Amino acid sequence: MLKHWSTHAEYQQFISVAVSQLNFSQRKKLASYSDSLEKLTSLNLDPVGEHLRPYYSDTGRPALNQPEILRSFVLMMDQGITSLTNWVETLQSDDLLALMIGCTTDSLPPLGSYYDFIDRTWLQDSESQKNGRDDLLRYDKNHKRSNKKGSVKTGSDKKLPNRHPGITK
């Protein structure tokens, strides 16, 4: 169910109110994003909402923040970021980027919502759906690597080796 598709006028109003509440340093930083902000504020997504409506059920849990997710994809590509995981983390840590897509940092769409949006709009037969999405969003680009040095993988029935022998005597 597509709960509410925020209109272009609502988005522009949100941006103008939010920008008026920024302090001097935030406005200065926002100026560095001026090209991206101009792209987003001139991109009218109202027709897209009507086009996407058939991809959502009339029942069930409503999908939230769909135009914001689409704006987020545009901004992500404009910023040169190709990993959804990294992008969502970047949005959570940067108030201005979140503001530019039409959200506050408290109301950002979670990572799973991005994948749900892709699944709904990916125009490919269901049999090859999984492989197609994997080609688009490769595993190594969208998953964190372990930062642990010397991590040892063992079977589920085996005990991990003792890393600090003799620590308790």
Q: What is the pLDDT of residues 24-83, one digit of tens each?
A: 999 999 999 999 999 999 999 999 988 888 888 888 888 889 999 999 999 999 999 999
User: What pLDDT does residue 169 have?
Assistant: 67
What pTM was estimated for this model as a whole? 0.72
Buried b (16+ CB within 10 A) or exposed e, 15-41: beebeeeeeeeeeeebeebeebbeebe
